[in-house]
């Protein structure tokens, strides 16, 4: 019997969870690297596991991409909550826009596979958009309540504007331009921008 087989079941479960988290983290970085199609064996190697371990957790590239997508979406939600707890809402929103920009870079690195996942029905494009709008709405509502964001702004318009900015300035070498455009969006959401 190998030492691994003699590990208590709880230790094996903990190791499996660690491996899964590590694989998702490494895949996220790999997809954000700008490479067109990152080899799965490179992800396994960087995560310090064998390719068999990767396939046990994610039998296909699509399964890995879906897991990264869900992980990053949850990161956007939890990131918004953490930022709101630490900063005034307008500033939290602007910092969250940077998180969203990072997500867009990751998404770009897995776009072909993500499209396949969406067309298979495992992820719904409408639901993906709704999740983003829900987070934006949470940030806007906090800003309206604090008086530092306009009350006449629609969360879906802000989400669409964010997507538009990152569609034209989402590449890593356009980071400075994206930051300037995101600043313009933030400034347009301030109450003083509504009068004029």
pLDDT at 81 (0 to 100): 96
pLDDT at 7 (0 to 100): 61
pLDDT at 6 (0 to 100): 55
pLDDT tens per residue, range 19-75: 999 999 999 888 887 666 788 999 999 999 999 999 999 998 889 988 998 898 899
CATH of domain 1-59: 1.10.10
pLDDT tens per residue, range 87-120: 999 999 999 999 988 887 777 677 777 777 777 7
What band does 2 get if pLDDT is binned at 50, 70 and 90? Answer: very low
pLDDT at 43 (0 to 100): 93
CATH of domain 61-196: 1.10.357.10
pLDDT at 31 (0 to 100): 84
pLDDT at 34 (0 to 100): 67
Domain ranges in the chain are 1-59, 61-196
Write the DSSP string, the chain. Answer: --HHHHS-HHHHHHHHHHHHHHHHHHHHHHHHT--SS--HHHHHHHHTS-HHHHHHH-SSHHHHHHHHHHHHHHHHHHHHHHHHHHS-HHHHHHHHHHHHHHHHHHHHTTHHHHHHHHHHTSS-HHHHHHHHHHHHHHHHHHHHHHTSS-TT--HHHHHHHHHHHHHHH-SGGGHHHHHHHHHHHHHHTSHHHH--
């Amino acid at each position: 019997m190998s030492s691994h087989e003699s590990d208590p079941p709880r230790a094996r479960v903990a190791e499996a969870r660690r491996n899964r988290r590590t694989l998702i983290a490494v895949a996220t970085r790999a997809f954000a690297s700008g490479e067109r199609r990152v080899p799965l064996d490179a992800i396994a190697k960087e995560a310090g596991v064998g390719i068999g371990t990767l396939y046990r957790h994610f039998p296909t590239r699509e399964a890995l991409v879906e897991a990264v997508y869900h992980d990053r979406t949850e990161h956007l939600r939890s990131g918004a909550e953490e930022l709101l707890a630490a900063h005034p809402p307008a500033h939290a929103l602007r910092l969250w826009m940077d998180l969203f920009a990072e997500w867009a870079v990751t998404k770009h690195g897995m776009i072909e596979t993500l499209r396949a996942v969406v067309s298979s029905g495992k992820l719904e494009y409408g639901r993906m958009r709704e999740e983003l709008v829900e987070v934006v709405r949470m940030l806007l509502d906090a800003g309206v309540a604090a008086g530092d964001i306009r009350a006449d702004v629609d969360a879906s318009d802000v989400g669409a504007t964010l997507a538009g900015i990152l569609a034209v300035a989402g590449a890593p070498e356009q980071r400075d331009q994206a930051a300037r455009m995101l600043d313009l969006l933030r400034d347009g959401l301030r109450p003083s921008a509504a009068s004029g």
